[in-house]
Amino acid sequence: MQKSSLVFGAPNQYPLLIVISGPSGIGKDAVVGLLRKNTPDTHFVITMTSRAPRVDETHGVDYFFVDRETFEDHIAKDELLEYAKVYSDYKGIPKSQVREAFATGKDVIMRLDVQGAMTIRELCPDAILIFLTASSKEEWMQRLIARRSETPDELALRIETAEKEYALIEEFDYLVVNSHMNIEQTISDIQAIIRTEHMRTKPRKVEL
């Protein structure tokens, strides 16, 4: 007897692993912060870092701030999904966060620099990589300078690094413009990507 090909209801779905990335100063933190407010049923990974917090950052909310010795202990125990040394400081994603969220069926969103996103692409080919860009180079430069958190040498290094990062755009699945004047559109675009991915007939399946 021929098996029916009719399908009703939602297709089988697996939790998505979504990476929000892009060059320094592009607004990753602001985008993820607003996504968190508008996407309550999604788990947002909190990155661990060895750098000191900025004045507007809170431990356990923006990042898990630890000293270098503690971070290196996590590396030695293989407790990080990915990690990298960026501008002399470590950043990494604890494996436990992602696994626990997947166990509850929740999508996972993480913010990573481009180097970290490339590591996730290698480890998890079915992850969704979203590259944030500005509406113009001038706008991006203004944002970077306005932060006033880097020395002139550090600023020059970030600009040089960004040029290399933009060369990797084709490694990403989606390119989203994050305009300084319209972050709401950025959020809408990302939410549309997530909805679309959940309607795939061949769903992505991330295995850790």
Between helix 28-38 and helix 183-197 the angle, nearest 10°, is 60
Catalytic status, residue 36: no
Q: Is 121 one of the annotated active-site residues of the chain?
A: no
> Out of 54, 68, 99, 200, which one is annotated catalytic?
54
The residue annotated as part of the active site, out of 68, 99, 147, 200, is 147
Residue 20, sorted as left (phi over 0), alpha (psi -120 to 50) or beta, turns out to be beta
Catalytic residue among 51, 158, 195, 200: 158
Q: What is the number of alpha carbons within 13 Å of residue 159 lying toward its C-beta? A: 15
Which residue type sits at 172? F
Per the CB < 8 A criterion, the answer to whether 23 and 157 are in contact is: no
Please tell me the distance from the alpha carbon of residue 107 to that of residue 113, in angstroms, as a whole number: 20
Q: Which residues are catalytic?
A: 54, 147, 158
